[in-house]
Amino acid sequence: MFKNAKEFVQYANKLKTLREKKLNGVSIYVCVGTGCTAKGALKVYSAFEEELKKRNLLGQVTLEKIDDDKVTLNRTGCCGRCSSGPLVKIMPYRFFYSNVAPEDVPEIVDRTVLKGEPIERLFLTDPLTGEKVPRIEDTTLFKNQDFYIMEAIGESECDSIEDYIARGGYESLVKALTSMTPEEIIETVKASGLRGRGGGGFPTGLKWEFTRKAQGDIKFVVCNGDEGDPGAFMNRTLLERDPHLVLEGMIIAGYAVGAQKGYAYIRAEYPFAVKMFKKAIEDARKLGLLGENILGTGFSFDLEVKEGAGAFVCGEETALLASIEGKRGMPRPKPPFPAQSGLWGKPTLINNVETYANIPRILRDGVENYRKRGTENSPGTKMFSVAGPLKATGIIEVEFGTTLRDIIYNICGGFVEGEEFKAVQIGGPSRACLSEDFIDMPLDYDTLKKADAMVGSGGIVVITKKTCMVEVARFFLDFTKRESCGKCVPCREGTMQAYNILEKFTHGKATYEDLKALEHLSKTIKTASLCGLGKTAPNPILSTLKLFREEYIAHIEGECPSGMCTAFKKYVINPDICKGCGLCARSCPQNAITGERGKPYTIDQEKCVKCGLCASKCPFKAIELV
């Protein structure tokens, strides 16, 4: 445990030297982020461990001691190429291998670890050029990104406080506690222009200032790591790959606003993130960077993890606070805002994971360095999680002001064969869908707001021409209506009624009166709902009504332009192929298929519910959806 800042600095300098030595020696880094783990990364890690032990090559894993003639095996966090995992990086050669299987391990040890030879078949494939690339930093995907908080891709240890300190970690905390007043820290954050990364982009420094000036001897700092948006996993990635970065930001925030206790609210569906952050807290306590009298400065601050039960509404700050207090996660009217009356009625600062992660870098590298990236009113970078039928998907980090075209085509490599751009849904399930007209629009808080959209969580779901936009609106509203806490009528009842109308469209039963009612109802929900969930729930409807209205009209007229809604199609039996076996009739749950054995059968379209069971059962492929 460090008694003062001087002891910490001496320790940090030692670790920096050891880390440099480690990276110059032979080291293996296996990505154990959720994406890679789901594809077998832990088995790959175990295979390396077993193989190195068998050959007596496994060296000390921590930075406290490094054996010159051994190989270090390390766990690293998400590298952003989730679709290509499990991922492995070999230092000092910087070879980056993708889709690694346990059976590949002996060859990697033989050729790369012992001889320094590359294994080309395991290299990443560049999504733009189609060529094999030996190092991740040489791929088009990474060349067009700007890594600010996702530094040390593939060579940082997610479970090691020593590695974080060796990379400059906790230097900002030392600087804050020993040479800056709380007011100076807040002014620095204000000067940086940092805006909240979890929603509408409220200025972070102002929020800190409000909490600092709020009356009260007891104050709290809360990290919103709930991240319930489908297709969004930036917060989870940060908590898994660099938990100390977030933790350090929270401790600095605690000092700046005068708080004594912090809570990291992380959803329980993120077990690895919870595990990593709990370990980070424990390790920081052991070194005296968290707890009583931190580094002998007289400042005391402690922190614990609160696991959320998975309610989407708890992403709203007042519902999140209620959940921490042990109550049902339901929002309350504002004001008062949490900065004045938050946890147990005390002033409370709430920021999200990515916001806190920016704080150590801003204090360590300076405001000017931070503002070199992004735009004037939206400085810095933003992490996005990109999903859809693209050649490369996963986590990216780009400057604010980057366009959707750059992300889709220059970073993610464009669409897989047979797919074309139609729309993009950005910011979460309750955000707007944007058409191709917006593909060259710079992504920043103010520009998106003018387009009735938001950065939101940072999830980007790319939609192609094979997708029905009415179905997209129905899909996202189905999520938000189920996640409504039910406290206010506009959200509880309004989303359900809007969903029922959308189902009439997708089932081919909608009228022009339904179109009028849907638009009016959506605007009412947006205006009258209590919290952000209800106010934004109709956004997918309103945006698709504005930009893709012709698709709603086509559904009324009896056609789904994309061909996605099966209500506008029918299953038919081709009499030239049907052998009259009767298997389809016996499997039909609606008794909609009739016929005489040995002769072609027919389907009664009035009875058919288009379940497709008959087509799946037909051994002759005689039934088609047309």
Q: pTM of the full predicted structure? A: 0.90
Query: Does the pLDDT of residue 170 top 90, yes or no?
Result: yes
**Are residues 303 and 202 both part of a single domain?**
yes
- Whether 296 maps to a domain, the answer reads yes
Instruction: Write down the pLDDT at residue 79.
Output: 87
| 3-state secondary structure at position 424 | strand
Q: Give me the domain span that covers residue 395.
A: 374-464
Domain check: are 131 and 174 in the same one? Answer: no
Cβ contacts of 278-281, under 8 Å, gap ≥ 24: 278/305, 279/159, 279/243, 280/161, 280/243, 280/244, 280/247, 281/247, 281/305
CA distance linking residue 186 with residue 481, whole number of Å: 39
Task: Assign residue 302 the CATH number of its domain.
Answer: 3.40.50.11540
Ramachandran region, residue 201 (left: φ > 0; alpha: ψ -120 to 50; beta: rest): left
Q: Which of 372, 387, 411 delimits the end of a domain?
A: 372
pLDDT of residue 100: 97
CATH number at residue 593: 3.30.70.20
- Per-residue pLDDT averaged across 485-489, rounded? 91
Q: What are phi and psi of 136, to 5 degrees?
A: -65, -30
Q: In this structure, are strands 459-464 and 421-426 parallel, antiparallel, or unpaired?
A: antiparallel
9 is a domain residue: no
Residues 527 and 615 both lie in one domain: no
What average pLDDT does the segment 522-549 reach?
A: 93
Q: Please state, in angstroms and rounded to a whole number, the distance separating the CA atoms of residues 400 and 354.
A: 14
pLDDT band at 64 (very low <50, low <70, confident <90, very high): low
Same domain, 116 and 39: yes
pLDDT above 70: residue 614: yes
Token couple for 554: 């086509």
In this structure, the answer to whether residues 128 and 63 fall within a common structural domain is yes
pLDDT tens sequence across 357-397: 999 999 999 999 999 999 999 999 999 999 999 998 888 99
Say whether both 165 and 298 belong to one domain: yes
Residue 67: is its pLDDT beyond 80?
no
Asked if 529 contacts 490 with a C-beta cutoff of 8 angstroms, the reply is: yes
Residue 312: predicted pLDDT: 86
CA dihedral 412, 416, 418, 422 (to 10 degrees): -30
State whether residue 456 is helix, strand or coil. Answer: coil
Q: 3 in a domain, yes or no? A: no
Helix (H) / strand (E) containing 308 = strand 302-308
* CATH assignment of the domain containing 52: 3.40.30.10
The predicted-structure confidence for 406-455, as pLDDT tens digits, reads as follows 999 999 999 999 999 999 998 878 788 999 999 999 999 999 888 888 88
User: In this model, does residue 230 exceed pLDDT 80?
Assistant: no
Report the CATH number at residue 479.
Answer: 1.20.1440.230
Co-location of 379 and 365 in the same domain: no
Answer yes or no: is 385 within a domain.
yes
Prior bond to 490 cis, omega within 30? no
Q: Are residues 255 and 336 in the same domain?
A: yes
Give me the pLDDT at residue 152, please. 87
Give the E-state strand segments of 105-172 in sequence order. 124-125, 132-133
Are 29 and 113 in a shared domain?
yes
Burial letters 60-86, b for 16+ CB under 10 A, else e: ebbbeebeeebbbbbbbbbbbbbbbbb
Q: Distances from the Cα of 7 to the Cαs of 18, 60, 289, in angstroms?
A: 17, 24, 12
Burial class (CB in 10 A: 0-12, 13-18, 19+), 53: exposed
pLDDT for 315? 87
**Do 302 and 258 share a structural domain?**
yes
Q: What is the DSSP string of 187-241?
A: HHHHHHT-B-TTSS--BHHHHHHHHHHSS-S--EEEEEE----TT--HHHHHHHH
Lowest-confidence region among 166-175, 226-235, 395-404, 466-475: 226-235
The CA distance from 262 to 243, in Å, is: 15
Both 441 and 321 in a single domain? no
| Angle formed at CA 107 by CA 106 and CA 111, multiple of 5 degrees | 120
At residue 321, the pLDDT reads 96
Indicate the pLDDT class of residue 339, thresholds 50, 70 and 90: very high
pLDDT at residue number 403? 95
Decide if pLDDT at 511 tops 90: yes
The CA distance from 262 to 217, in Å, is 15
| Total number of domains in the chain | 5
Q: Identify the domain boundary among 431, 464, 497.
A: 464
* 4 lies in some domain: no
Q: What is the mean pLDDT of the chain?
A: 92
Domain assignment present for 168? yes
pLDDT band at 555 (very low <50, low <70, confident <90, very high): very high
CATH number of the domain bearing residue 390: 3.10.20.600
Residues 494 and 445 in one domain: no
Question: Range with the lowest mean pLDDT among 44-58, 174-188, 415-429, 486-500?
Answer: 415-429
Closest CA to 208 of 186, 193, 177, 224: 186
pLDDT tens per residue across span 280-319: 999 999 999 999 999 999 999 999 999 998 888 988 899 9
- In percent, how much of the chain has pLDDT > 70? 99
Give the pLDDT band of residue 68 (cuts 50, 70, 90): low
